[in-house]
Amino acid sequence: MTNALDHPIETTFEQLLERAHGLAATGERRILGIVGAPGAGKSHLTDRLLAALGPDLAAAAPMDGFHLAGSILTALGRADRKGAPDTFDGEGYVALLRRLREHSGTADPATPNPATANQSTPDPARDGVIFAPEYRRDLKESVGSAIPIHAHVPLVITEGNYLLLPDHPWNQVHELLDESWFLAPPSELRLDRLTARHRSFGKSAEAASQWALGPDERNAERITLTAPRASTIWRLL
């Protein structure tokens, strides 16, 4: 680990919620990036923020939705290191963030479109909606167009490992974020979370530990080097 993580700012969920609410309160489209090594708690924090802010203030556009399909990884010879930067559609992710940055404020939730008011599924052609993909851990694949993001929603939260990488195409992400938060929990806690996650999806205790200390830890070392590029490095209490 690098010196960048030696002195993270300790914070609480309530403090981070207040900060996120401040971004949403501008009424203009803002994109918050939540970054960290595998097991840092990015998805958990994102879910809590989304639940607390509500669907009229915040929506998610996770980087994990851009995992390349398993068949593509196998064809490229990269299946054994799934999760590395070149196992994602980075260009597609950047393109989505650009669309989200440019496409906002065209729909007002207080005055629903009468043509779609009774529809449970939004119509992107009429409702000012962009759809983002979602990674399904139960399927171990991404599902396209699974997350609707309405134009009136001011805050988009995107979380993932590689938002601050200096390499192309990831280096374009940083300029599209209004704030970037790097999560830095204690290493022991992060590794425990990773091992438990892998076991929950069917790996044996030995295999889960090997993956957490192998591919995951190699990714963690690379991601940690990007921490100085973040707006703030947080340790959530």
**pLDDT tens for residues 80-139?**
888 899 999 999 999 999 999 998 654 444 444 433 444 556 665 556 899 999 999 889
Average pLDDT score over residue span 185-202 = 92
Q: What is the mean pLDDT of the chain?
A: 90
- Identify whether 194 is part of a domain: yes
- Identify whether 120 is part of a domain: no
SS (H, E, C) the chain: CCHHHCCCEEECHHHHHHHHHHHHCCCCCEEEEEECCCCCCHHHHHHHHHHHHCCCCEEECCHHHHECCHHHHHHHCCHHHCCCHHHECHHHHHHHHHHHHHCCCCCCCCCCCCCCCCCCCCCHHHHCEEEEEEEECCCCEEEEEEEEEECCCCEEEEEECCCCCCCCCHHHCHHHCCEEEEECCCHHHHHHHHHHHHHHCCCCHHHHHHHHHCHHHHHHHHHHCCHHHCCEEEEEC
- Identify whether 116 is part of a domain: no
Q: What is the CATH number of the domain that holds 177?
A: 3.40.50.300
Higher pLDDT, 184 or 122: 184
- Identify whether 172 is part of a domain: yes
- Identify whether 31 is part of a domain: yes
- Identify whether 1 is part of a domain: no
- Identify whether 61 is part of a domain: yes
- For the cut 50, the answer to whether the pLDDT of residue 2 exceeds it is no
Overall domain count for the chain: 1
- Identify whether 2 is part of a domain: no
Lowest mean pLDDT, pick from 9-18, 24-33, 101-110: 101-110
Tens-place pLDDT, residues 137-158: 889 999 999 999 999 999 999 9
Determine what percent of the chain is predicted with pLDDT higher than 90.
Answer: 78
Please give the residue range of the domain that contains residue 68.
Answer: 8-106+126-236
- For the cut 60, the answer to whether the pLDDT of residue 50 exceeds it is yes
Q: Tell me the whole-structure pTM to 2 decimals.
A: 0.88
